[in-house]
Structure 1
Amino acid sequence: MSEWWTEVQTYRLSDFLMFSARSYYRQFELMNRELWPLHLLVLAAGVLLLAGMLRPRATASRAAFGVLALAWAWVGWAYHLQRYADINTGAPWFAAGFGMQAVLLAWMALRTAAQPAAGVQGRLARFLVIAALAYPLLAPLAGRSLMQAEVFGLAPDPTVVATFGALLFWRAPWPLWVVPLAWCAISSATLFELRAAQAWVFPLLVLLLIAVRCQAVWWPAVFEAKRRADPDKRHR
């Protein structure tokens, strides 16, 4: 038993990766060439998502979650199953997770319209959607061709970033956060092993989300506790 455990401890994530950074980003290049001009449609969908946050209406949340449900389903099938599975044996499992998230997002789209967040939480949510739409710019900044860029609605990472924005803005329940957070861990571990320049994007994003969520939950509670501790302030 001890020998088996010692052998397991010698493995690293790189021992399970069967591809290089060049092969990884080559997938996006081939996909972008094959699917163009679908990029224009997904960009329009992303702009629709952002517009629903800039001018929230009664049905904005339902439209946003409907768009994201389609995006997650498409990425699960067109990317994970049709392309990523060629170089990563775990891709079918990733596709299953993306399909599960698509179902949860579709369920949110069918529910009663949600109320938008305000303040720091609302501003961060809008920023995340803008960042997701601008995600392709990371490719030339990292020295890669723009044809190897990851696009919202076609590639997983920018789709997850935009989803975080919607979940934060419309205060989605915790089950909808599980798969996106799990993908953050998987993608970050992969990118770190590939020595990719953008490997720090998801860890920093998750820390920022945790900080904002804690501020949104704990700061009102602390303020209310202080107000109750000094009732005279209510009459000042």
Structure 2
Amino acid sequence: MSEWWTYRLSDFLMFSPGTYWRLVELYNRDVWPAQLVALATGLASLWLAGTRRAGAGRVLAALLAAVWLWVGWTFHWQHYATINWAAPYFAAAFGIQAVLLVGLCILSRDAHPPSPGVVTRNLGWLLAVTGVVLYPLAGLLAGHPLSQAEVFGMAPEPTALASLGLLLASGQPPSRALRYLLAIIPTLSLLVGAATLWSMAG
């Protein structure tokens, strides 16, 4: 019997890379043309994060809440759960994030969204544009067909990445404590996704 330290992360993976990417492909096929709505939502979110208009932060939070609820239900609960026993827990976490974003939308009292610092704003834009625009292209560069593209508003990782960036770029929420709270689940989602990709590559 092998000792525990001889195991690699890939030894705990419950599915093959081919199975995962086939799942993504079937998922994209099943929900088409929701990808077009997701792309429009992503572009609208980028605009909302950049505008200083009153109420923009509330609308952005509402859009992100809908996106997190959608990905939690359609990807994690209805599709990913067929190959990963942990997916229902991921779905629950995405639902919690949606509730937190709804809370931000309801409780926000600012007439105008606050202006973040230069470093925070630039980091936010980098993450947001990467999640909405560049992440799907990265899959193509890695050799995956367009049918297996992971898109903001459809797949967990680009959604989490863009959400972090959009909140930073927009200065929402203004409270640092709330900002950290809203960053917990997206950060954990990115770590789980990175570990999964690392395992499949190993």
Pairwise TM-score range, normalised by the shorter structure: 0.7 to 0.9
Q: CA deviation at 1:20?
A: 1.2
User: Aligned-pair RMSD on alpha carbons?
Assistant: 1.9
- Pairs within 5 Å for 1:187-206: 187-195=193-201
Corresponding residue number in structure 1 for 2:86: 90
Q: TM-score, normalised by structure 2?
A: 0.87
Report the equivalent of 2:161. 161
Q: Distance in 2 between matches of 1:162 and 1:30?
A: 23
- The aligned runs of 1:71-220 (5 Å cut-off) are 71-110=67-106, 111-113=108-110, 114-134=113-133, 135-169=135-169, 170-172=171-173, 173=178, 174-195=180-201
Q: Does structure 1 conserve the Cα–Cα contact (< 8 Å) formed by 2:128 and 2:162? A: yes
Query: 1:84-125 CA distances to partner (integer Å, 9 max, x unpaired)?
Result: 111111101111111111110111111224413141221221
**Deviations 1:18-57 (Å, cap 9, x if unpaired)?**
1111111112211111111111111111111111122221
Structure 1 unaligned regions, length at least 5: 1-5, 197-236
Q: Contact 1:32/1:148 (CA < 8 Å) preserved in 2?
A: yes
1:36 equivalent to 2:32? Answer yes
TM-score of the superposition, structure 1-length normalised? 0.76
Q: Does the CA-based 8 Å contact 2:76-2:91 persist in structure 1? A: yes
Structure with larger RCO (C-alpha < 8 A, sep 6+): 2
Instruction: Name stretches of at least 5 consecutive residues in structure 2 with no aligned partner.
Output: none
Alignment match, 1:218: none
Paired AA for residue 181 in structure 2: P
Aligned length: 192
Aligned-partner Cα distance in 1 for 2:17–2:115: 39
1:54 aligns with 2:33: no
User: Highest CA radius of gyration, 1 or 2?
Assistant: 1
